[in-house]
Amino acid sequence: MFDNVTKSYGNIKALDSISFEVENGSITGFVGPNGAGKTTSIRIMAGLLLPERGSVRINGENPFSSIKMRERTFFIMDTINIPPSVSIYDYFLHLSKIYHFDSSSIEDAFKSLDIWPARNRTVRQLSAGMKQKAQLAIALCASADLIIADEPASNMDPTARMQLYETITRTNRERKTTFFISSHILTELERVIDSVIIIGRGRKLTQSKIADFKLRASGKYGVNALRIHVSDIKAASTAVRVLAVEGNAIVVSAEPGQLGRLISAIESAGVTVLSVEKERFDLGEVFSEFVSNEQIA
């Protein structure tokens, strides 16, 4: 998609020979600190900015000249271009003639995003969150192949964000739609993406499948590792085989179905089990690690 793309604003280099590809049918997260070049990248994808050097292709098409690309690719940005005095439902009826989708799909898209009750409102009467949802609804109605979203859940309450990501996951699963999502809310993003690109200072720091990151996260103690917080580390360590001690927790390996036996053994030694947690992948930790290393470099 991006091949050695460079873009500067005066003396500030927003993108520095950055290259990456997005797999068709994936939900790819695009993350980085403020000023890393995320929005610049997305605006170049949208054909709103020209790179100084390098090439950009979306499904093999040039975003600056391809009508075909614009028909099959949708962008969810921080603004929405709907005539201010037209209801969003009437606007969608107009779009159905341009994008050749059945007007009956409008109701389905609106209901899936919980904006059907607001269908007769004008864009000026919509909340910021509803404007974001309306943009996604356009893409759903037009059966987009690729949806590129810059902070799509911004200005939404927690329930609306969860509903948005559920719609993204369902659309990807049922239609094989590719999503490219930039977001700062990493705890929510990691629940839906299957790949991630991390950038910093206009350069790609890493790109990987989430499954590969999870495998690396479990590499220290193994995929069956559990962290059990206990009242007495010394006594618990004599009751079961311990891989490591971390604070008030012992790290043990437990095959599926063995947790009950381990807890019984620990409690038989007069130890109280305070909590049990599985070693888990944390996108925020991965992000911090790569960004910190970049800053040090």
Residue 67: CATH number of its domain: 3.40.50.300
Question: Residue 223 has what pLDDT?
Answer: 64
Both 86 and 231 in one domain: the answer is no
Both 46 and 84 in one domain: the answer is yes
Say which range, 63-72, 79-88, 216-225, has the weakest mean pLDDT. Answer: 216-225
Both 186 and 237 in one domain: the answer is no
| Token pair belonging to 14 | 């927003």
Last residue of a domain, one of 165, 195, 214: 214
Both 92 and 128 in one domain: the answer is yes
Both 139 and 50 in one domain: the answer is yes
Q: Name the more confident of 2 and 152.
A: 2
Decide if pLDDT at 296 tops 50: no
Q: Can you tell me the distance from the alpha carbon of 252 to that of 42, in angstroms, rounded to the nearest whole number? A: 44
Long-range contacts of 255-264 (CB under 8 A, 24+ apart): 255/224, 256/224, 259/226, 262/226, 262/228, 263/228
Question: Residue 279 has what pLDDT?
Answer: 66
- Within a domain: 284: no
Reported as a pLDDT band with limits 50, 70 and 90, residue 32 is very high
Mean pLDDT of the chain: 89
- Within a domain: 286: no
Reported as a pLDDT band with limits 50, 70 and 90, residue 25 is very high
Averaged over 231-243, what is the pLDDT?
Answer: 94
Question: Residue 192 has what pLDDT?
Answer: 93
Last residue of a domain, one of 214, 247, 267: 214
Last residue of a domain, one of 172, 192, 214: 214
Both 162 and 244 in one domain: the answer is no
Both 153 and 227 in one domain: the answer is no
Q: Indicate which CATH number applies to the domain containing 260.
A: 3.30.70
In sequence order, which residues have a C-beta less than 8 Å from that of residue 230 and are 6 or more positions away? Answer: 236, 248, 249, 250, 266, 271, 272, 273, 274
Q: Name the more confident of 293 and 89.
A: 89
- Within a domain: 291: no
Q: Can you tell me the distance from the alpha carbon of 103 to that of 133, in angstroms, rounded to the nearest whole number? A: 18
Question: Residue 149 has what pLDDT?
Answer: 92
- Within a domain: 296: no
Both 30 and 128 in one domain: the answer is yes
Decide if pLDDT at 266 tops 90: yes
- Within a domain: 247: yes
Torsion angle of C-alpha atoms 169, 172, 173, 176, degrees rounded to 10: -170
Report the domain count for the chain: 2
Averaged over 3-7, what is the pLDDT?
Answer: 97
CB-CB neighbours of 132 under 10 Å: 26
Both 140 and 256 in one domain: the answer is no
Both 8 and 118 in one domain: the answer is yes
Q: Can you tell me the distance from the alpha carbon of 32 to that of 46, in angstroms, rounded to the nearest whole number? A: 19
What is the largest distance, in Å, between two alpha-carbon atoms of the chain?
73
Reported as a pLDDT band with limits 50, 70 and 90, residue 297 is very low
Both 69 and 205 in one domain: the answer is yes
- Within a domain: 7: yes
- Within a domain: 60: yes
Range of the domain at 182: 2-214
Decide if pLDDT at 273 tops 80: yes
- Within a domain: 104: yes
Both 193 and 93 in one domain: the answer is yes
Express as a percent the part of the chain with pLDDT over 90. 55
